[in-house]
Chains A and B, each alone.
Chain A
């Protein structure tokens, strides 16, 4: 089973024509043709845009590969091509094995139909046979936890219920190759965790090939073994998942601007970390400089830490570090002696309560935490909660 090639991509390219309307009306297309005829050179105003260019990679059977990159880097285009939703303009690819692609949960869900009917509808759209759905029906309902409302039209469902039902259908696909895009970005945190667990099971337990696109570095790291970084339509890095995530974060942090405006009066002059990649239980230095255009009265100031599921895991209260409350420039250096977070990706924000500016300002910095160094193999991440506790042991 394993060892063979699951997906092979060679010099794949996708071209879009911008600068003229793609979905124009009849008159538009006619006058375009006319003007192209007049211009004789094929109309100079058309501009080619390569959303993907010369993309090549190979994925072996049983590998779980994460594709990361900024918005607009071409990840989704790549996934759409591999899912055969759209055709490539150049190059070729081959896929060996039964493939399912999941670019969205609940594709085709109809609000007027009942939960039961939507399971069949959505399952069939995802490529399952009716007999197959019938066989898995109870398991799907069980996983979703909406059995009481199975015969209620989905339009009366809460959005959370809808997502749970949709994801349950998707989770019971049993392809050899699974292509997933950002589907974990929906649903409540608890269900997301359940889904991550199920995905984990899918990708590791059953030797399945997974191609996973996500912004969630934590999810990529825990699900995937390999990674590919896409930037401006090209593959710029591929390798082991940890190295890939590290490469990506270095790439993005060097592009980050240091000057963040909070509002018209106050801006962050500096918000820096001693390192964007730290190990659990190791020290981390933070520097925050706030400047305002006139004297500001600061009543509250904190750094906010969010994990990849968007739970606020901690705050660092900076009030103690404030030398004076009234000033137009504040600079605080703080040292966390032992960072207690479990490995994963964290986002940092700032809370400010002042005369000129009040609010939570999120997603300002990213921090990747790596597993603590130990001399034994740690338990799987899902068993270890959210925090890493530092302790000394005395043996008697």
Chain B
């Protein structure tokens, strides 16, 4: 016979614990919430899933016209649409998770107030939903590579690693924002701003050299405080080859790691009072 489950809650003894086992026990909930989001996302839309394709495609078109044709950004010989979509693939996912998870706890407050479950399940499920957009962007990437006859670089073996880093940075930012939005609704307004700002503050539409060559060292360091700066460069390097990410990229990864750990800690702290303040 399995040991009887036992719950002890003591207000005087509290410590930080991730409780991964419990999170694992709730995997069914996590999956069904992701399923729910996928099902309702395009409910009653005429174009349905095509929206996940149209959004990056439209941005890509604008980038190609503005940065590829008008400004003529130097991409080191890579056809501009291929260059831009590699950056956008990682960014689309990041932006989606940021948008969705930032508001996720507030949007599920009815549930949060009525039933117990590890609240992390909510932003985590958004990271799963984002894979649809991720896959769509990948599809565009591969189609464009075929059209422009760009062969993937051998660095592609590192791609899974950079995909993982994309997910981790998206979660880091998403979890932070979901917890902050509970207490300060201001962050609902910060998110669209962050996404728009990040689209240009990250080497997506242009290679990082065009910016950092004109910046002092501290400016470059500042630029790489953006965790996605390193991720997008690494992502592009693993797909298209070229010069490996510069040393500053490690700064990006460091910031990401710190953000991720502190996000989990802050979230756990807010989790205790979530139902009272949401």
- A interface residue numbers (CB < 8 A to B): 13, 16, 22-26, 29, 80-81, 83-99, 101, 103-104, 107-108, 110, 112-113, 117, 120-121, 124-127, 129-130
B275 within 8 A of A: yes
Which residues of A have CB within 8 Å of B33? 121
Q: Are B9 and A125 in contact (CB under 8 A)?
A: no
A-B contact pairs, 8 of them (CB 8 A): A81-B9, A85-B275, A92-B9, A97-B6, A98-B5, A104-B115, A112-B40, A113-B39
CB interface residues, B 233-278, toward A, < 8 Å? 272-278
Q: Are A24 and B12 in contact (CB under 8 A)?
A: no
B4 within 8 A of A: yes
Q: Which single member of A87, A90, A98, A130 contacts B272 (CB below 8 Å)?
A: A87
Q: A26-B186, A112-B43, A130-B28 are in contact. Are A94 and B8 (CB under 8 A)?
A: yes
Which residues of A have CB within 8 Å of B115? 83, 85, 101, 103-104, 107-108, 125-126
Interface 9-mer from B87-95, B106-114, B164-172: B106-114
B117 within 8 A of A: yes
B36 within 8 A of A: yes
Q: Are A24 and B184 in contact (CB under 8 A)?
A: yes
Which residues of B have CB within 8 Å of A108? 108, 110-111, 115
Which residues of A have CB within 8 Å of B112? 85
B150 within 8 A of A: no
Not counting A97-B6, A110-B36, a sample of 10 additional A-B residue pairs whose C-beta atoms are within 8 angstroms of each other reads: A16-B276, A29-B184, A83-B115, A83-B116, A84-B116, A96-B6, A104-B115, A112-B40, A121-B33, A125-B115
Instruction: Report A16 CB to chain B, min CB distance, Å.
Output: 7
B11 within 8 A of A: yes
The CA of A124 and the CA of B273, in the complex, are separated in Å by 23
Q: Are A107 and B275 in contact (CB under 8 A)?
A: no
For B30, the closest partner residue in chain A by CB is A124
Q: Are A125 and B277 in contact (CB under 8 A)?
A: no
The CA of A92 and the CA of B11, in the complex, are separated in Å by 6
Instruction: Report B3 CB to chain A, min CB distance, Å.
Output: 10
Q: Are A89 and B277 in contact (CB under 8 A)?
A: no
The CA of A24 and the CA of B115, in the complex, are separated in Å by 24
B65 within 8 A of A: no
The CA of A87 and the CA of B119, in the complex, are separated in Å by 14
B217 within 8 A of A: no
Q: Which single member of A25, A88, A90 contacts B186 (CB below 8 Å)?
A: A25
Instruction: Report A26 CB to chain B, min CB distance, Å.
Output: 5
The CA of A23 and the CA of B5, in the complex, are separated in Å by 35
Which residues of A have CB within 8 Å of B272? 86-87
Instruction: Report A94 CB to chain B, min CB distance, Å.
Output: 5
Q: Are B11 and A25 in contact (CB under 8 A)?
A: no
For A153, the closest partner residue in chain B by CB is B43
For B32, the closest partner residue in chain A by CB is A124
Interface centre among B32, B184, B185, B274 (most CB of A within 10 A): B32
Which residues of A have CB within 8 Å of B182? 23
The CA of A94 and the CA of B186, in the complex, are separated in Å by 38
Q: Are A92 and B12 in contact (CB under 8 A)?
A: yes
Which residues of A have CB within 8 Å of B28? 124, 129-130
Q: A85-B113, A125-B111 are in contact. Are A23 and B36 (CB under 8 A)?
A: no
Instruction: Report B204 CB to chain A, min CB distance, Å.
Output: 29
Q: A23-B185, A87-B273, A113-B36 are in contact. Are A104 and B114 (CB under 8 A)?
A: yes
The CA of A126 and the CA of B28, in the complex, are separated in Å by 11
Which residues of A have CB within 8 Å of B157? none
For B182, the closest partner residue in chain A by CB is A23
Q: A23-B183, A80-B275, A96-B6 are in contact. Are A124 and B116 (CB under 8 A)?
A: no
For B185, the closest partner residue in chain A by CB is A25
Q: Which single member of B4, B11, B274, B278 contacts A90 (CB below 8 Å)?
A: B11
The CA of A113 and the CA of B277, in the complex, are separated in Å by 29
For B184, the closest partner residue in chain A by CB is A26
B7 within 8 A of A: yes
Q: Are B7 and A95 in contact (CB under 8 A)?
A: yes
CB interface residues, B 169-200, toward A, < 8 Å? 182-186
Instruction: Report A28 CB to chain B, min CB distance, Å.
Output: 9
Instruction: Report A113 CB to chain B, min CB distance, Å.
Output: 6
The CA of A22 and the CA of B276, in the complex, are separated in Å by 9
The CA of A107 and the CA of B36, in the complex, are separated in Å by 14
Q: Are B6 and A94 in contact (CB under 8 A)?
A: yes
Q: Are A107 and B111 in contact (CB under 8 A)?
A: yes
Which residues of A have CB within 8 Å of B117? 125, 127
Which residues of B have CB within 8 Å of A113? 36, 39-40
Instruction: Report A149 CB to chain B, min CB distance, Å.
Output: 17
10 pairs of A and B residues whose beta carbons are closest in the complex = A92-B10, A84-B116, A87-B272, A95-B7, A112-B40, A94-B8, A86-B275, A104-B114, A112-B43, A88-B11
B132 within 8 A of A: no
Instruction: Report B85 CB to chain A, min CB distance, Å.
Output: 32
Instruction: Report B232 CB to chain A, min CB distance, Å.
Output: 29
Q: Are A85 and B183 in contact (CB under 8 A)?
A: no
Q: Which single member of A88, A91, A97, A125 contacts B29 (CB below 8 Å)?
A: A125
The CA of A83 and the CA of B275, in the complex, are separated in Å by 12
Which residues of B have CB within 8 Å of A86? 272-276
Q: Are B4 and A88 in contact (CB under 8 A)?
A: no
Which residues of B have CB within 8 Å of A13? 11
Instruction: Report B189 CB to chain A, min CB distance, Å.
Output: 10
For A104, the closest partner residue in chain B by CB is B114
